[in-house]
């Protein structure tokens, strides 16, 4: 990896995949917000959804959330970064 461009979104492919997946699950796709931040060589993606949609994104026993994390980590491999996905209330 070369010099980092401050205007470039970190883990752009992973962010796009995460946004698409979450928007397709929730009742209010316009309320979905994904924020990316970098720390210690990893990218942290925080997902915020509208009221009442968090349970839908997490799923039973967290299975939906875990599946989303798996797909997003695979997408992050295209960007050659490691990502953590957090669902924020």
User: Any long-range contacts for 28-33 (C-beta under 8 Å, 24+ apart)?
Assistant: 28/53
pLDDT band at 2 (very low <50, low <70, confident <90, very high): very low
- Residue 1, pLDDT > 80, answer no
For residue 10, the SS3 value is coil
pLDDT of residue 35: 95
What are the domain boundaries of the chain?
A: 12-88
d(CA 70, CA 12) in angstroms, rounded, equals 16
Mean pLDDT, to the nearest integer, of 26-40?
93
pLDDT of residue 4: 52
Could you tell me which CATH class the domain 12-88 is placed in? alpha beta
- Residue 23, pLDDT > 60, answer yes
Cβ pair 85, 11 in contact under 8 A: no
> pLDDT tens digits, residue range 46-71?
999 999 999 999 999 999 999 999 99
């Amino acid at each position: 990896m070369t010099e980092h461009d401050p205007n470039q979104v970190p883990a752009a492919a992973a962010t796009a995949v995460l946004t698409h997946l979450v928007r397709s699950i929730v009742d209010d796709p316009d309320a979905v917000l994904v924020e990316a931040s970098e720390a210690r060589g990893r990218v942290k993606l925080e997902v915020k959804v509208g009221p009442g949609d968090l349970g839908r994104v997490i799923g039973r026993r967290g299975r939906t959330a875990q599946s989303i994390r798996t797909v997003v980590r695979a997408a992050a491999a295209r960007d050659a970064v490691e990502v953590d996905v957090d669902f924020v209330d």
